[in-house]
């Protein structure tokens, strides 16, 4: 026999109903627990959380901007800056588009180059100018990660540690100090993930309210949840990420799947009779619109300056080229497709071949950063207290962070599969979205800087593990102190490792002996 039992949280509503002569509201057993389970547990130190976030972000800004224009090739860009920096300057001159069809090494969409152009507009065609926007993006990525880690762990301390670890990641540091595209791609993907996290909490709060109001059983599919602005924001950011690099499409697919699974699991936690069918019938179409259609629209909108121009690269290719096809489309659309096919052909034929790039690396070496990249090298320089000094900038993930990637990944798989921990599952999905697609075509030329979007999710995985080492807040004093000691020792090791690598991450003059001491492994040479 089912017994209707009022929850303790509804006593005021019950008393009011009794006074009015109505039947008092009742709840089925477990409804109060369901609402409590669904409602996100926000940390109570909101003010302190923002103070800590801003302090860590300020520290990140100091580290990222410190002598930003240090390493140059006789005052000119280094490594792949030589592609994107002049293209951004060209866009600045032309009003948003490239127009050099003779050169036509245009390998990526315009958004990243637009962002580089912002710094060049502010500070001119100088190292500070072409690296300014990247440093801003690298600083914002730290801010985002602090808030993301805090939201996922409900701990301001762990959020702060996530920010500190990302500051001390050599890969993220170097990419935030060069005029290349990958840091913009990484920060936009991370921002989209942050929006989906907020959307997850908002949606679960709405379901908790429905449970509290005893409306969860009105439909076996569960309630409709209305328009979800945070998911919409994630779609905008994913479209911009694709507008930096096409590899953003992998995150579009991964985050779309993640959002749908979160919706189904939330409906199940709320007690919906058919949660997966409810997610498919009530959440899938809006999710598809926000996380797939919207990014597509945003991506093509980023080409607005190209559409409006008369002299942009391949702008009128449909009128002169014989192999465009798609005759049913307007000329502007056919020309844009021709442009994209050229870019696709460039990437398709960018293969290792018989003469590989000396700093090329394949994806199996990325998780532990076994094959870094030398962006800049000059010997015989003054400034280190001896006659002959070395000045070098090496893209190198801090070993104390990257060398634990495999055990952290293994633990994350165990927690996600064995304990159904959604946090580890989310980190794994995003990490794999930035990593696994590179195994599809191993003949292609690949470089370690492609791993830039992996760095924040690696740090998130490490921070989740550190949270378990630290222990629960209600654990014994001895347990907490022991966990805190281990966490402090590890974070101190990462900071010390980053400080040791500082000269070769920033291109500061060092002695030949110090340069040799920095190169720990044969694969680093």
All residues at 6 or more sequence positions from 454 whose CB lies less than 8 Å from its CB, including other chains: 366, 367, 431, 434, 435
Helix extents (H) in 20-155: 31-38, 46-65, 81-94, 111-123, 127-153
CA distances from 21 to 4, 17, 24, 65, 437 (A): 19, 6, 9, 69, 65
Q: What is the pLDDT of residue 26?
A: 43
Q: How far apart are CA 333 and CA 337, in angstroms?
A: 6
Q: Best-predicted range by mean pLDDT among 1-5, 166-170, 271-275?
A: 166-170
Number of CB atoms found within 10 A of residue 473's CB = 8
Q: What is the pLDDT of residue 489?
A: 97
Average pLDDT over residues 229-251: 97
Average pLDDT over residues 267-288: 94
Who has greater pLDDT, 389 or 355?
389
Q: Best-predicted range by mean pLDDT among 21-30, 276-285, 386-395, 516-525?
A: 276-285
Looking at residue 283, what DSSP letter applies?
A: I
Least confident interval from 95-109, 245-259, 412-426 = 95-109
pLDDT at 315 over 90: no
pLDDT at 323 over 60: yes
Q: How far apart are CA 69 and CA 63, in angstroms?
A: 13
Would you place residue 103 in the very low, low, confident or very high pLDDT band (cuts 50, 70, 90)?
low
All residues at 6 or more sequence positions from 392 whose CB lies less than 8 Å from its CB, including other chains: 374, 376, 377, 378, 504, 507, 515
CA distances from 438 to 25, 175, 300, 432, 445 (A): 57, 19, 24, 10, 10
Would you place residue 450 in the very low, low, confident or very high pLDDT band (cuts 50, 70, 90)?
very high
pLDDT at 12 over 60: no
Q: What is the pLDDT of residue 319?
A: 79
Q: What is the pLDDT of residue 435?
A: 97
Give the closest residue to 52 by CA, choosing from 137, 166, 143, 165.
Answer: 143
Who has greater pLDDT, 101 or 396?
396
Would you place residue 70 in the very low, low, confident or very high pLDDT band (cuts 50, 70, 90)?
confident
Who has greater pLDDT, 22 or 292?
292
Helix or strand holding residue 381 (H, E): strand 373-381
- Tell me the backbone φ, ψ of residue 379, rounded to 5 degrees: -115, 165
Q: Best-predicted range by mean pLDDT among 54-68, 203-217, 315-329, 351-365?
A: 54-68
Q: What is the pLDDT of residues 109-165, one digit of tens each?
A: 999 999 999 999 999 999 999 999 999 999 999 999 999 999 999 999 999 999 999
All residues at 6 or more sequence positions from 176 whose CB lies less than 8 Å from its CB, including other chains: 64, 134, 135, 137, 138, 139, 141, 183
Q: How far apart are CA 264 and CA 135, in angstroms?
A: 39
- Tell me the backbone φ, ψ of residue 101, rounded to 5 degrees: -70, -20
- Tell me the backbone φ, ψ of residue 41, rounded to 5 degrees: -95, 95
Instruction: Output b/e per residue, 411-430; b: 16+ Cβ within 10 A.
Output: bbeebbeeeebebbbbbbbb
Burial bucket for residue 166 (CB in 10 Å: 0-12, 13-18, 19+) = buried
Helix axes 81-94, 127-153, angle to 10 degrees: 100
Average pLDDT over the chain, rounded to an integer: 89
Q: What is the pLDDT of residue 31?
A: 63
Would you place residue 37 in the very low, low, confident or very high pLDDT band (cuts 50, 70, 90)?
low
Number of CB atoms found within 10 A of residue 492's CB = 11
Average pLDDT over residues 95-107: 72
Q: Are 130 and 22 in contact (CB under 8 A)?
A: no
Q: What is the pLDDT of residue 227?
A: 94
Can you tell me whether residue 115 is helix, strand or coil? Answer: helix
DSSP 290-318: IIIIHHHHHHHHTTHHHHH-SSSTTTTHH
Least confident interval from 326-335, 370-379, 445-454 = 326-335
pLDDT at 52 over 90: yes
Q: What is the pLDDT of residue 44?
A: 81
Looking at residue 444, what DSSP letter applies?
A: B
Q: What is the pLDDT of residue 102?
A: 52
Would you place residue 356 in the very low, low, confident or very high pLDDT band (cuts 50, 70, 90)?
confident
Least confident interval from 60-74, 346-360, 423-437 = 346-360
pLDDT at 35 over 80: no
Q: Are 292 and 256 in contact (CB under 8 A)?
A: yes
pLDDT at 23 over 70: no
């Amino acid at each position: 026999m089912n017994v209707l039992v009022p929850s303790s949280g509804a006593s005021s509503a019950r008393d009011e109903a009794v006074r009015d002569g109505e039947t008092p509201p009742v709840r089925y057993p477990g409804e109060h627990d369901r609402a409590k389970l669904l409602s996100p547990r926000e940390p109570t130190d909101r003010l302190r959380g923002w103070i800590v976030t801003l302090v860590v972000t300020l520290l990140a800004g100091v580290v990222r901007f410190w002598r930003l224009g240090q390493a140059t090739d006789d005052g000119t860009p280094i490594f792949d800056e030589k592609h994107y920096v002049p293209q951004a300057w060209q866009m600045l001159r032309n009003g948003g588009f490239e127009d050099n069809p003779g050169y036509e090494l245009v390998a990526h969409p315009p958004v990243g180059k637009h962002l580089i152009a912002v710094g060049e507009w502010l500070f001119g065609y100088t190292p500070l100018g072409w690296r300014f926007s990247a440093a801003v993006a690298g600083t914002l990525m730290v801010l985002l990660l602090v808030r993301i880690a805090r939201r996922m762990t409900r701990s301001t301390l762990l959020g702060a540690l996530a920010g500190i670890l990302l500051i001390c990641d050599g890969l993220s540091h170097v990419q935030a100090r060069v005029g290349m595209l990958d840091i913009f791609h990484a920060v936009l993907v991370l921002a989209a993930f942050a929006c989906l996290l907020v959307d997850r909490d908002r949606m679960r709060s709405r379901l908790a309210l429905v449970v509290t109001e005893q409306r969860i059983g009105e439909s076996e599919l569960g309630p409709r949840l209305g328009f979800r602005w945070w998911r919409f924001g994630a779609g905008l950011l994913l479209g911009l990420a694709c507008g930096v690099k096409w590899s953003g499409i992998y995150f579009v697919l991964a985050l779309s799947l993640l959002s749908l699974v979160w919706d189904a699991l939330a409906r199940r936690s709320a007690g919906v009779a058919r949660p997966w069918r409810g997610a498919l019938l009530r959440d899938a179409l809006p999710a598809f619109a926000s996380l797939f259609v919207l990014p597509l629209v945003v991506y093509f909108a980023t080409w607005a300056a190209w559409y409006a121009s008369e002299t942009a690269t391949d702008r009128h290719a449909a009128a002169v080229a014989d192999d465009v096809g798609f005759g049913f489309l307007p000329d502007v659309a056919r020309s844009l497709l021709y442009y994209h096919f050229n870019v696709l052909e460039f990437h398709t034929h960018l293969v290792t071949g018989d003469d590989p790039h000396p700093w090329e690396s394949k994806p199996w070496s990325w998780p532990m950063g076994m094959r870094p990249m030398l962006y800049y090298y000059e010997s015989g320089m003054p400034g280190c207290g001896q006659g002959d000094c070395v000045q070098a900038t090496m893209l190198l993930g801090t070993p104390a962070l990257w060398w634990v990637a495999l055990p952290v990944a293994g633990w994350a798989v165990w927690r996600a599969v064995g304990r159904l921990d959604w946090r580890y599952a989310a980190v794994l999905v995003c990490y794999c979205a930035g990593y696994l697609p590179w195994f599809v075509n191993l003949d292609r030329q690949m470089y370690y800087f492609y791993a830039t979007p992996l760095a924040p999710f690696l740090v998130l995985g490490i921070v989740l593990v550190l949270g378990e080492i630290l222990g629960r807040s209600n654990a014994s004093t001895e347990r907490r102190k022991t966990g805190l000691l281990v966490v402090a020792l590890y974070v101190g090791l990462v900071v010390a490792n980053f400080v040791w690598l500082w000269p070769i991450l920033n291109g500061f003059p060092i002695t030949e002996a110090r340069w040799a001491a920095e190169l720990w492994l044969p694969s680093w040479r």
